[in-house]
Amino acid sequence: MRKTLIIGAGGQIGTELTAGLRLKWGSELIIASDLKTSKPEALGEGPYVTLDIMDREAVRKYVIDEKIEVVYLLAALLSATAEKQPDFAWKLNMEGLFTILDLAKEGHLKQVFWPSSIAVFGPTTPRDMTPQFTVMEPSTVYGISKQAGERWCAYYNAKFGVDVRSLRYPGLISYKTPPGGGTTDYAVDIFYQAKRSGSYSCFLSEDTALPMMFMDDAIRATLMLMEAPRENLRIESSYNLAGISFTPKELAEEIQKHDPNFSIAYTPDFRQGIADSWPRSIDDTYATEDWHWSAEYNLARMTQVMLENVKI
Ligand code: NAD
Ligand code: SER
């Protein structure tokens, strides 16, 4: 196993990715890091270091001194939060990526994972079964940063032989750590409110279909991609990845199968505009063909697991 650093490990994906990597490889060589000065409880046992990805020199020193070989770079602002601080979002989402890609280009890192998003697509993209290669005119600062990041990953791969791998994650649904300010967060909040009060006020309209995925599938996809032989990978930017697509109404109806008294109201806010610019469903044929991807969670299974595990 290669010595691995997860940057932004205290967030929704990082806590579960850290656990997934440690389950597979043991704790010793899997180092979690985040801005937070004390180790987030959700990270459990295992090495933790405070690192700010914006501090390029500190990150370089740590990676070189500690002989880190693999980096998972998760620190970023998500779509809804990024719209409130576009300058900072651009800076955070791009500068950290260059710090890590440069370390790999110089030979300090053997492999990098950097997540992209369905936000790379925009209002001119075909919205149903969105293909890997299509029109991409993102209209959010988050989407623009992800699209630019994808192009830089492909560039560092082609020009410098950097082994950087990436997934266009759909909205991720989990119960261990709260989501970090995305447009798809309603699909997590709804479970907390269902258990807390039996009702939910949704910030998207009832018929807004979006691509989503249960976290266990997302972690499995990440590990599969990172372990795939490089020669099998045809995509040098970021792979489309599909799980489940549903609307808030369909999710509410699924919850009502468990709790017939659950009620939902719709009060769309600025996030509706973001959601309307994204795909409704994703074609992930390349992931299926290149590294045998297939999601395991459907809407019914995801809903049941969420209702069983969400703690209020
Ligand atoms: P999150 O907001 O839950 O977690 C991000 C973590 O990064 C936080 O723990 C935060 O403290 C940390 N962080 C912020 N600034 C930092 C800095 N300067 N230095 C070090 N750490 C810093 O986000 P997430 O949902 O876990 O997303 C991780 C990545 O996956 C992001 O790039 C995001 O764009 C991408 N992604 C997430 C989703 C999703 O639905 N969660 C979907 C698509 C893509
Ligand atoms: N879940 C993310 C968001 O809504 C998609 O990248 O921002």
For the Cβ of 282 lying below 6 angstroms from any atom of ligand 1, the answer is no
Q: Which residue's CA is minimally distant from atom 6 of ligand 2?
A: 117
Interval between CA 31 and ligand 2 midpoint (Å): 25
Residue-range domain boundaries for the chain:
4-170+214-240, 174-212+244-309
Ligand 1 pocket: which of 7, 13, 112 to mutate (most atoms <8 Å of CB)?
13
Rounded Cα–Cα distance for residues 232 and 214 (Å):
26
CATH of domain 174-212+244-309: 3.90.25.10
Superfamily name with CATH number, domain 4-170+214-240: NAD(P)-binding Rossmann-like Domain (3.40.50.720)
Q: Go through 228-241 and write b for each residue having 16 or more CB atoms within 10 A of its CB, e for each that does not.
A: beeeebebbbbbbb
Ligand 1 contact, 12 CB (< 6 A): yes
Which is it for strands 210-214 and 244-246: parallel, antiparallel or unpaired? antiparallel
Provide the residue-wise pLDDT of the chain in tens; the chain has 312 residues.
899 999 999 999 999 999 999 999 999 999 999 999 999 999 999 999 999 999 999 999 999 999 999 999 999 999 999 999 999 999 999 999 999 999 999 999 999 999 999 999 999 999 999 999 999 999 999 999 999 999 999 999 999 999 999 999 999 999 999 998 999 999 999 999 999 999 999 999 999 999 999 999 999 999 999 999 999 999 999 999 999 999 999 999 999 999 999 999 999 999 999 999 999 999 999 999 999 999 999 999 999 999 999 999
Q: Is the C-beta atom of 10 inside 6 A of ligand 1?
A: yes
Half-sphere exposure of 125 toward its Cβ, with a 13 Å CA cutoff? 28
Domains 4-170+214-240 and 174-212+244-309 equal at CATH topology level: no
User: How far is 280 from 267, CA to CA, in rounded Å?
Assistant: 20
CB-ligand 1 contact for 7 (6 Å cutoff): yes
